Amino acid sequence: MTERRLVFGSAAQDYAAHRPDYPAAAVEWALAGAPGRRVLDLAAGTGKLTARLLEQDVVAVEPDAEMLGMLRAAFPQVEALRGIAEEIPLPDASVDAVLVGQAVHWFDPERAWPEIARVLRPGGVFAGLWNCDDAAVDWVRGLHEALAHGKSVPQGGDAAELEPRGPFGAVERRTFPFARQTTTEGLIATLRTHSWSLISTDAEREAAFARLRAYLATRPETASGGFAFPLFTLVLRTLRS
């Protein structure tokens, strides 16, 4: 897993407060067909996905100490371990499903897929989930253009490809639309937790957010203050043979 994953720890509190939750229907579909209730939330962060897995026998694994500490504080009943996808601290064939929220694209596939296959029982499920802005909506697409200002500002779905290595079947794909109530400053707080923002200079970041504020002030959907921001959860799922 690339070391860029560790930039998120510096924004752990904002991540927990401002990143969107995962729709229950998306998580239910991700788990469909799992042979049992033991679920690994891999690269669990502050526990955004863990929160949807509390009815399962869930174990969380996260590399960043700050984020792991917040997860443990929020969910003391959950077994939470420090570790990475390339060296999962669990026994062979010990889980029925591995779910990953917003992080598969950070893994080293040559090392992570054998580890995922190792800890999954035969017939187990692997699923990656990404919460993505719905750029099919005209004003959201315009927001991306204003924010990027000629530069690439990647969204979660941009990296959402699943190319399993080893004993895995065909990849299934499904999307789950939803909306999140927010404000201009609430949206900016969310964007401050994105990797492109965390690695930008202060000047670059604040210039991008100034363009965003100006754009949202001109749109009838957002100019009045609070608004529903359109998103969807993309789920990519495969079964271990």
Average the pLDDT over 10-24 and give the result.
85
Average the pLDDT over 163-184 and give the result.
96
Residue 135 has pLDDT above 50, yes or no: yes
**Percent above pLDDT 70 for the chain:** 90
pLDDT interval class at 10 (50, 70, 90): low
Beta-carbon contacts of 90 under 8 Å, excluding residues fewer than 6 positions away, are: 40, 59, 61, 81, 119
Considering only residues 151 and 216, tell me which one the structure prediction assigns the higher pLDDT.
Answer: 216
Query: How far is it, in rounded angstroms, from Cα 39 to Cα 47?
Result: 14
pLDDT interval class at 4 (50, 70, 90): very low
The position carrying tokens 């029982």 is 121
pLDDT at position 7 is 53
pLDDT at position 207 is 94
pLDDT at position 2 is 42
> Which of these ranges, 37-51, 135-149, 172-186, 192-206, has the smallest mean pLDDT?
192-206
Asked whether the CA dihedral 204, 209, 214, 220 is positive or negative, the reply is positive
Kindly report, residue by residue over 81-128, the tens digit of the pLDDT.
999 999 999 999 999 999 999 999 889 999 999 999 999 999 999 999
Of 121, 120, 126, 78, nearest to 99 by C-alpha is 126
Average the pLDDT over 36-65 and give the result.
98
pLDDT at position 154 is 45
Distances from the Cα of 89 to the Cα of 45, 56, 200, angstroms: 16, 19, 33
Of 160, 146, 229, 235, nearest to 189 by C-alpha is 229
Kindly report, residue by residue over 174-217, the tens digit of the pLDDT.
999 999 999 999 999 999 988 788 888 899 999 999 999 999 99
Residue type for 169, please? G
Residue 3 has pLDDT above 80, yes or no: no
pLDDT at position 12 is 76
Residue 27 has pLDDT above 90, yes or no: yes
pLDDT at position 60 is 99
Domain at 3-134+155-181+230-239: CATH code = 3.40.50.150
pLDDT interval class at 152 (50, 70, 90): very low
pLDDT interval class at 131 (50, 70, 90): very high
Average the pLDDT over 22-28 and give the result.
98
